[in-house]
Structure 1
Amino acid sequence: MHSKTSISIVPYREELKAQVIDLILHIQNVEAGVGISAQEQPDILAIQSSYLDQGGGFWVALDESGQVAGTIGLQREDAITAVLKKFFVRADHRGTPEGPAIRLYAELLAFASGAGIRTIVLDTPAVATRSHAFYERAGFRKIDKADLPVAYDYPDRGSLLFRLDLP
């Protein structure tokens, strides 16, 4: 079991890129069997320009040895709307009450509030049932594609869509 102090949440840095991509692809393809390449999600190959340069954010959870244990991104779509993306936590750090998932998500929410974002949407593969439960506990509600407030590209793998309106 890992302790809260063994994880640090840091803004994305380019020297973490290879680890970030490896973690995301491992969870998507080895664990979830989604079958998606890095080329099908070009945002992970260009985090700086896809997230940070557009007024969004991307955060990384590092374990006690400085290895990437989790990721979360907020891709800004317009002045008040953003897409939560690339929310992944390494298997050995999942399900802990003060683990990286809760802390990454809290970092994203604090940033969104400070940046004037009012609505966060996300897509997640239908097979990711554990993620669906997390999002619903966090106040997201399932929506239809027609109800998305912004249009954005995502690799549709039987995806479910969720929306959170911030206070």
Structure 2
Amino acid sequence: MTNTIKISTYNHQYQAQVIELILKIQQQELGLAITLEEQPDLLIIPSFYQKGNGNFWIALDGNNVIETIGAIDMGDNRYLALRKMFVDVNYRGKSRISKKLMDSLVSHARTNNVREIYLGTIGNFKGALRFYEKNGFLPVSKSDLPASFPVMEKDNLFYCLTVSTSAS
């Protein structure tokens, strides 16, 4: 780990690294039988994530992608769906970069008058659940999700963060 960690908006030059990081974590660490073909969003990040109030950020150590986080505009500019938050195993718990990426997302949401950020996850991702809860996300039932929330087949837990306005 170097002292050159920075947060950046996604740029196409990092596509291969983003895909490699996410697939490695999904397949090798989490044991999920998921392929790139099942995640076409990774091949079209600008048109999938970086539209409306959505965006996609990466954390870089030097020129190496070490973390990702995406936000999908759910269609009415009031809600975002958090997606693709993945952290290289060598950086988990050793830096506050995850918090900085989450803060970037929340700041972006606040600036764009987004009211709520939703996410879906899998119950056995205990570290991720603790991180979300520590950052203000509260559990919600699937039936309480906005109709436009893109539910993933494997998701069994859902969370919501109410974005405070700059006046609060």
TM beyond 0.5: yes
Name 2:146's counterpart in structure 1.
149
Whether 2:154 is the aligned partner of 1:163: answer no
Aligned partners of 2:84, 2:155: CA distance in 1, in Å?
17
Give the counterpart of 2:6 among 8, 12, 26: 8
Equivalent runs, 1:1-167 vs 2, <5 Å: 2=1, 5-64=3-62, 66-77=63-74, 78-98=76-96, 100-167=97-164
Q: Distance in 1 between matches of 2:59 and 2:92?
A: 12
- Structure 1 residue 156, shift from structure 2 partner: 2.1
Post-superposition Cα deviations, 1:106-139, rounded to whole Å, max 9, x if no partner, equal 1111111101111000011222111001001111
Secondary structure in 1 matching 2:19:
helix
Structure 1 gaps, min length 5: none
Shift of 1:68: 0.5
Alpha-carbon distance between aligned partners in 1 of 2:35 and 2:123, rounded to the nearest angstrom? 18
Q: Is the 8 A contact 2:53 2:109 kept in 1?
A: no
Deviations 1:26-84 (A, max 9, x none): 111110112211222222121000111233111011113x1100000111112210001
Gap runs ≥5 in structure 2: none
Name the % identity.
36
Q: Secondary structure at the match of 2:51?
A: helix
Q: Residue 165 of structure 1: CA displacement?
A: 0.8
Using the alignment, how far apart are the partners of 1:48 and 1:158 within structure 2? 24
- 2:23 is matched by which residue type in structure 1? L
Maintained 8 Å contact 1:121/1:162: yes
Count of residues paired in the alignment: 163
Distance, in Å, in 2 between the alignment partners of 1:155 and 1:38 is 15
Distance 1:53 1:79, change over 3 A: closer
Q: CA RMSD in A?
A: 1.5
Tell me, what secondary structure is at the counterpart of 1:35? Answer: coil
